[in-house]
A and B are shown apart, each in its own frame.
Chain A
Amino acid sequence: MTIGSGETPQLELRGITKQYPGCLANDHIDLKIMPGEIHALLGENGAGKSTLVKTIYGVLEADEGEIFWAGELVKIPNPHAARKIGIGMVFQHFSLFEAMTVTENIALGMSGRQDMKALEKQIIEVSSNYGLPLEPRRQVHTLSVGEKQRIEIVRCLLQDPKLLIMDEPTSVLTPQEAAKMFETLRRLSSEGVSILYISHKLDEIKALCHKATILRGGKYISECDPTLETAKSLAEMMIGTDLHAPEHNIEENTGPIRLKVRNLSVDADIEFGINLSTINFEVHSGEILGIAGVAGNGQVELLSALNGETKCEDGEAIELDGKAIGRLGPNQRRNLGLAFVPEDRLGHGSVPEMMLTENAFLSGYSRMQLMNSGFINTGATAAYAKEIVDKFDVRTPGIHHTANSLSGGNLQKFIVGREVLQKPNVIIVAHPTWGVDAGAAASIHQTLIDLAEAGGAVLVVSQDLDELFAISGRIAVIADGRLSVSRNLKEITIEEIGLLMGGTHSMGETGGRSHVA
C-alpha cells in the first residue's frame, strides 16, 4: 500500500451535481482517491452511486462540479476520454456482447484500432499474468458469469488504468471466485492502481477497502475507515437510521411437509438453458429452505417448473400439501395456495406500465376475491393495494402510480407483500433482495420469517449467501441443474457451499462435473 498523506490524489471530485427531472441524483459530492487506494463507495439504492461513477467514466455529464485528475482539472465528455487518461470501469450489468468472441468484446472496449492477432496474444499474457484465465476465441454466451467478469477486468487492465471502477463486482461470484478477485485487486493496488469499489456487501468492504465514502439521498454523508467500523455501523450510516437485524427463531423443521419435489427432471426448451436432473427436496410448514447457487445453474428452469410456467411430464413430481400439481398451470397452483415472487421484478413480477392496483389485481384476483362475475371490483382492489402499501411500508406517491415508477426496493416490498397477504401455504421467492437497499432487505426478510413462523413454508432461491444464512433453516445448492441434499444451517460452512456452487457434489446424491473453469 502506498498511500502517502502528502501526495496529490489520483482523482478528486469537487461539488459534483447532477439533476434529473424531479430528482437531484448528486448534490455537491466531494471525493478523493489516492494512488493505490481501494476506496469504497457506499449507499442505498438511489443514493447516487451509479450516477457518480458514470460521471467519472464519462457516460453522464455533471451539471456542476470539477474533476481533478492527478491534480489537474479535466473534462471527461465520454468514455473514450476517460479511458485515454487511464480510467477503466467494470459494470454491474456487464457491457458485453453475447454473440461475439472474447477478443471482439475486448477490442470494442478499447479506443482506436487493434490488430486482432496481437490483441489475442496480449489477452493471454495479461490474463495469465493476473491469474484471470480467458480463452480469446470463445463466444461470450458460452461463458460462466465469473468468466464474463474476467473479460471486463482484462479489458480494463489492457489499457494500463490508473483508476479502476468496479460496480458491485462480487454480486455474481462464488465465494472462491470473489476471493480470487480480491487477490487481483490487492495486487493492482500494490502496483499503484486506485480502485473505486461499489458494493452493498459490507463485510467485503471491511476486508478489502482502505477508505469509504458514504452517500445518502444524493448527498455526501461522510468518509470513514471501514476497517474501524462494524458492518452494522456502516449500514446505519448508509440508511441513516438504526438497523434491526431480522429476528430469527425458527425451530427445527417439525411441521408437516407442504411442498414436496420428487425426481423432477426437465429438459430446457431454450438454447443455453440448463436441464434439470432428478431434483429432490421438501419444504416443511414453518421453515425457510434456501437454495444457493451461481446464476445460470438451473435456477430459472427450477423456478419455472415450480410455479407452473413449465409443466412437468410427471404430474406427481411436485406435490403441494399432498396433492400432485406437476401438471397444473400457474393460476391453478396459486389457487391451491402456492405463491411466487419471481426474480425479475419489472416484467415478470409486475407489469411495468400498469398501476399498482392493477398489478395487485392480476395476482390476487382469485384468492382475494377481487372479481364480481367477470368484472373488476375496483373498491376491493384499491383496498387490497392500499393494504399492501401500508402494511409493507411501500414508499409511493399513491396506489394509482405505475409499477415502474417505484424504486427496486419498494417494488420488491410491494410484490412480496402482495403475495404474503394472499396467505399462501407455500411461497417461492427468487432473489428477494437483489439490488435492494439494506433497509428494504431487512423488512423483506422479516416478512418472510413472519410468514414461516405463522406456519407457511418458504423457499428462497438466492445467490446471496449472507442472505440465506440470515434467514433460512436449511440450505441446498444448485449447480449445473442438480440439487445437492439440503443441510441444516448449523452443519454447513460458507466454504462448503462455495465448493458446491462450483459444481463439486461431494455431499450430493449425484456425482457432478466441474462447471466453473
Chain B
Amino acid sequence: MSGFDWITPVILTVITAATPLVFAGIGELITEKSGVLNLGVEGMMLVGAVSGFITATVTGNYFLAVAAAALAGAIMAFLFGILTLSLMANQVATGLALTLFGVGLSALMGQNFVGQPVAALAKLDIPGLSDLPFIGPILFGQDGLVYLSFVMAIVVSWFLYKTKAGLILRAVGDSHDAAHSIGYSVIGIRYLAVMFGGAMSGIGGAYLSLAYTPMWAENMTAGRGWIALALIVFATWKPGLVVVGAYMFGGITILQLHAQAAGLNVPSQVLSMLPYLATVFVLVLISKDQSRIRKHAPACIGKIFHPAA
C-alpha cells in the first residue's frame, strides 16, 4: 500500500489543475451554443482572478470573493456583448481585444497585491469520511468550488438538453434568422449566454488565485483561457466531454511536473510542452471527423445577427 502513497496527492493536484478549465469551458460552451464566439476567455479569467483575490484580501470573505470574480467576468462579457451584439463588431477581433484589455486591466488592479499571500480556499472536512484512506481526501476533502464545478457541468448539461430554455438557446445558435422569425429575442438571449460565460470564466480565474496558487501574479492564467476554448472544440460542444478534456489536460500538466521532479532524462521544456502538444494532437484527431463537429457545432457561431426586416 505504501508504494502507492503518491497516487492520492497526484489526483488531488490534477483536480486543482482541471477545475479552472471546467469552469471556463462550461461557461464558454453556453456562449458558443448561443452562436457567439468570445475569444476573450483569458482576459475574463484574469480580471476574475484579480477581483476575487482583492475581495478575499480586503474582506476575508471567500463567498464574496467568488461572487466578485463572477461579477467582474460578467461585466467584461457584457462589454463584449455591447460591442459585438449591439454594435455588431467582429467577434474574433473583439474577443482578442478583450483578452488584451483583461491582461492590462488585471495587472493595473492587482499592482498593490502582487506577492501578498492569502489563505487558500478552505477544504471540506467531514470527520470520518474525509479521513478515509485514498478516496476520503479525493471525494470528501475538496474545496467548495471543485464541487461547484461538477454541479455546474451537470446543471448546464440538464439545461441544454432537458429544458425548453436550453432548447431555445441551442436554436438561437443553430439558426438565428429562424429563431428571430418565430419570435425569440436573439440579441437578448445572446447577452444572457455571453454574460453567463463571463461569470463562469471569472470564477475559473478566481480558482487560480484563491485555491490553485493562493496569490496574485500578473498573467497567472498562463494561457488556460485559450486551452478552455480549444477544449470546447475537442469536446465537440458537449458539456460532459468538456469535463473529460479538462481533466485530461490537467492530468498531463501534473504528470509532466511529477516527471520533471522525478528527474526524467528529457529536457524540461519538452515536458512543459506536453499538455499543449497533447491538446493539439487530440484536436487534430477530432477535427478529422468533420461530420461529428458539424452535428454538434452551433451553425451560427461567430456570425453577426442583423434583425433583417
Are A51 and B181 touching (Cβ within 8 A)? no
Q: Which residue of A lies closest to B180 (CB)?
A: A59
CA distance A108 to B181 in the complex (A): 11
* B309 pairs with A100, CB closer than 8 A: no
Which A100-127 residues sit within 8 Å CB-CB of chain B? Answer: 100, 104, 107-109, 113-114
Q: Nearest Cβ distance between residue B171 and chain A, in whole angstroms? A: 5
Does A263 sit within 8 A of B, measured CB to CB?
no
Residues 178-204 of B, flagged 1 when their CB comes within 8 A of A and 0 if not, give: 111111100000000000000000000
Are A100 and B183 in contact, CB atoms less than 8 angstroms apart?
no
Q: Is A281 an interface residue (CB 8 A)?
A: no
Interface residues of B in 279-294 (CB under 8 A from A): 290-291, 294
Give the residues from 148 to 184 in chain B that come closer than 8 angstroms, CB to CB, to chain A: 164, 167-168, 170-171, 174-175, 177-184
Q: Which of B171, B290, B291, B295 contacts A108 (CB 8 A)?
A: B171
In the complex, whether B299 has a CB less than 8 A from a CB of chain A is: yes
Would B181 and A59 count as touching, CB distance under 8 A?
yes
How large, as a class, is the contact surface on chain A? 20 to 34
Cα–Cα distance between A486 and B180 once the two chains are bound (Å): 43
Instruction: Report which of B164, B168, B182, B296 forms a contact with A95, defined as CB distance below 8 A.
Output: B182
A82 to B181, CA, bound (A): 12
| A271 at interface, CB cutoff 8 A | yes
- Nearest CB of chain A from residue B186's CB, rounded to whole Å: 12
Given the complex of chains A and B, what is the CA–CA distance between A166 and B89 in angstroms? 35
Q: Report the Cα distance A97→B35, complex, angstroms.
A: 13
Residues of A within 8 A of B295 (CB): 99
Asked whether, in the complex, the Cβ of A100 is within 8 Å of the Cβ of B170, the reply is yes
Would you give the shortest CB distance from B182 to chain A, in whole angstroms? 5
Tell me the smallest distance from the CB of B205 to a CB of chain A, in Å. Answer: 32
Interface centre among B168, B181, B183, B299 (most CB of A within 10 A): B183
Across-interface contacts of B294 in A (CB, < 8 A): 271
**A59 CB contacts on chain B under 8 angstroms:** 180-181, 183
Q: Tell yes or no: A20 within 8 A of B by CB.
A: yes
Q: Check B167–A107 contact: CB distance below 8 A.
A: yes
**B175 contacts which of A20, A78, A83, A96 (Cβ < 8 Å)?**
A96
* Interface majority SS (helix, strand, loop, mixed), chain B: helix
**Among the listed A20, A79, A98, which residue makes an inter-chain contact with B299, where contact means beta carbons less than 8 Å apart?**
A98
Q: Is A424 an interface residue (CB 8 A)?
A: no
Separation of A114 and B296 alpha carbons in the complex (Å):
23
Chain B residues with Cβ under 8 A from A82's Cβ?
A: 183
Which B253-309 residues have a C-beta within 8 angstroms of A?
A: 290-291, 294-296, 299, 309
Identify the closest chain B residue to A111 (Cβ).
B183
CB proximity of B190 to chain A, nearest CB, Å: 16
Query: Which of the four size classes fits the interface of chain B?
Result: 20 to 34
Q: Interface on chain A toward B: helix, strand, loop, or mixed SS? A: loop
Is A91 located at the chain interface by the 8 A CB criterion?
A: yes
**Smallest CB separation, A134 vs chain B (Å):** 18
Per-position 1/0 for B226-238, Cβ under 8 A of A: 0000000000000
Which residues 71-92 of A sit at the B interface, judged by CB distance below 8 A? 78-80, 82-83, 91
CB distance from A272 to the nearest CB of B (A): 9
Check if A79 sits within 8 Å of B175, measured CB to CB: no
A459 and B183 CA atoms in complex are apart in Å by: 41
Q: Indicate if the CB atoms of A80 and B183 lie closer than 8 Å.
A: yes
Task: Check if A100 sits within 8 Å of B171, measured CB to CB.
Answer: yes
A54 on interface, CB distance cutoff 8 Å: yes
Q: Does A98 contact B174, Cβ atoms closer than 8 Å? A: yes
Report if A107-B178 is in contact (Cβ < 8 Å); known contacts: A80-B183, A271-B290. Answer: no
A82 CA to B178 CA, complexed, in Å: 16
Q: How far is the CB of A17 from chain B (nearest CB, A)?
A: 14
B183 & A104 in contact (Cβ 8 Å cutoff): no
Asked if B171 and A97 make an inter-chain contact with CB atoms under 8 angstroms apart, the answer reads yes
Q: Does A60 contact B (CB under 8 A)?
A: yes
CA distance A109 to B174 in the complex (A): 14
A residues 483-508 touching B (CB-CB < 8 Å): none
The reply to whether A96 and B164 form a contact with Cβ atoms under 8 Å apart is no
Closest beta carbon of chain A to B176's beta carbon, Å: 10
Contact assessment for B175 and A97 in the assembled complex, using a CB-CB cutoff below 8 Å: yes
Residue contact B174 to A95, C-beta cutoff 8 Å: no
Q: Which residues of B contact A113 (CB under 8 A)?
A: 164
CA distance A164 to B184 in the complex (A): 20
- Tell yes or no: A326 within 8 A of B by CB: no
The answer, among A78, A94, A99, for a CB contact under 8 Å with B183, is A78
A36 at the binding interface (Cβ < 8 Å): no
Contact in complex: A79, B167 (CB < 8 Å): no
What are 22 A-B contacts defined by CB distance under 8 Å?
A: A25-B309, A51-B309, A58-B183, A59-B180, A59-B181, A59-B183, A79-B183, A83-B183, A96-B175, A97-B170, A97-B171, A99-B295, A99-B296, A99-B299, A107-B164, A107-B167, A108-B168, A108-B171, A109-B182, A113-B164, A114-B164, A271-B290
Given A79-B183, A97-B175, A99-B170, 11 new contacts (CB under 8 A):
A54-B309, A58-B183, A59-B181, A79-B182, A83-B183, A94-B178, A95-B182, A97-B179, A99-B296, A108-B184, A271-B290
